[in-house]
Structure 1
Amino acid sequence: MKRSRLQLLITALLFGATTPAFAQTPGSETSIGRQAQATPATRTVFVKMDDISFGQKSIDVKPGETVRFVLKNEGALMHEFNIGKAESQLKHQREMAALFKDGTLTPTGKAKSIVWREHFTAPSDSDPPGYPEVIEAKHDDPNAILVEPGTTKEFVWTFADASNLNFACTLPGHYQAGMVGTFVMR
């Protein structure tokens, strides 16, 4: 009984971690833009992440432009590159804090946990009570990507004709420490 409650809790956390504002499928259009595929004509912007700052405070973009962000985390902590408006990023911060509180995320990465699955056949005396399965936390918001310490990741985004867009790290305390920048629409 305890195992099935734990499995239900883990499933609810993994699937309930996004809000409707972020629950878009990759490639689907939102008011701020959408994830995209890079092409040879895609402009590349390099973004350095450190503890606790971005290498730049603003990035110029054009409505309809597709930008390939190369995100290099040179810090000791995990960071997020989240594209959005300030009000949605503040809401996302609460969700990220809950994921830290329950242990789904750690300061340096996604947590892994072991869940025991039960056998669906009649067990014999020699059968173990089940089998272990390693579950890794998921973070699949289409407008954001997590970058672990010492890694480099790419994120491609096509910008809509939206104003007041930011890029921010919404991990607990990072935004408040100034890990936020603005997109300037030109």
Structure 2
Amino acid sequence: MKHAFLATSAFATLLALSATGASASGSHSEAIGKPGVAAKATRTVEVDMTDSMRFTPADITVKKGETVRFVVKNSGKLKHELVLGTAQELKSHYAAMMKNPEMEHAEPNMVTLAPGKTGEVVWQFTKAGKVDFGCLQPGHYDAGMKGVVNVAQAGQ
């Protein structure tokens, strides 16, 4: 019975990801842009993650069309991650993480880091607007570990 529940839960998670534009195969919502090519990054933004459940900086401004290399450092003693997405995608993924806290995932729009480690996300922002980011480790997002990338029209 327990195995049937887990299988049903995993299937429901995949359906939820599909509904938000994500999938187990690694695609994601075009609303936030697309994976960038490191050689085409126009700048690097360093982001620090801490056990105070904060990103520094938590408010980043980029231009539409810009490819940014985010160098992300986990300065804490807990596992943290930076996941880019729409608010709806992040909330859906966070709900899945709360139910399956040991769930492992690796997508181009995220980096999960052990304490003291550094990683990167290279992303091209293809649409003006707002792209959210957060740490979806259980309890972290609710504690305020989130931020926003403001994507300005080119030329602004």
Structure 2, unaligned runs of 5 or more: none
Distance 1:144 1:40, change over 3 A: closer
SS at match of 1:49: strand
Contact 1:58 1:183 in 2 (8 A): yes
How far does residue 140 in structure 1 lie from its aligned partner after superposition? Answer: 2.4
Q: Quick check: which one's helix share is greater?
A: 2
Structure 1, unaligned runs of 5 or more: 1-5, 106-136
Q: Show CA shifts across 1:28-70 (max 9, x none).
A: 8722111122116531110011011111120111111110011
- Which structure has the greater CA radius of gyration? 1
Number of paired residues? Answer: 143
Runs of 4+ with >3 A deviation: 24-29
Cα distance in 2, alignment partners of residues 181 and 49 from structure 1: 11
Q: State the TM-score, normalizing by the size of structure 1.
A: 0.66
Q: State the TM-score, normalizing by the size of structure 2.
A: 0.78
Find the counterpart in structure 1 of residue 141 from structure 2.
Answer: 175
Identity level (%): 38
Q: Once superposed, what is the RMSD of the aligned Cα atoms?
A: 2.7
Cα distance in 2, alignment partners of residues 57 and 41 from structure 1: 20
Find the counterpart in structure 2 of residue 47 from structure 1.
Answer: 47
Cα distance in 1, alignment partners of residues 41 and 48 from structure 2: 22
**RCO (CA 8 Å, sep 6+): is it higher in 1 or 2?**
1
How far does residue 173 in structure 1 lie from its aligned partner after superposition? Answer: 1.5
Contact 2:94 2:138 in 1 (8 A): yes
